[in-house]
Amino acid sequence: MSPESTPVDDMRPEYSLRGGTHGRFYKEYMEGTNVVVLDPDVAAVFDDSESVNDALRVITKAAGKIEAPGRPAV
């Protein structure tokens, strides 16, 4: 790479990646994940993903899709 084509380091100090944890979500990524984006009015009703999952388990049980609401073994 010639000096003329060397990229300029314009990353601001507040964008530092120091102190991050390498591979923090690797295990979860390898297990697979589904990302679902909730509309703002729906998201306002729930505190966290656990409460969303609990509500969906109740709905799917009522609809006869699963036997009982329960958390998968970790």
Statement: residue 60 has pLDDT above 70: yes
Task: Please give the single-letter amino acid code of residue 20.
Answer: G
The answer to whether residue 48 is domain-embedded is yes
pLDDT of residue 72: 61
* Token digits of residue 45: 């009703």
18: Cα separation from own chain's centroid:
22
Does some domain include residue 42? yes
Q: Is residue 59 part of a domain?
A: yes
Average pLDDT on 30-51 reads 89
Query: Is the residue at 3 inside a domain?
Result: no
* Domain containing residue 53: 37-74
Q: Would residue 21 count as lying in a domain?
A: no
Distance CA 72, CA 69 (A): 10
Distance CA 70, CA 66 (A): 10
- Number of domains making up the chain: 1
Mean pLDDT in the chain?
81
Query: Is residue 44 in a domain?
Result: yes
73 assigned to some structural domain? yes
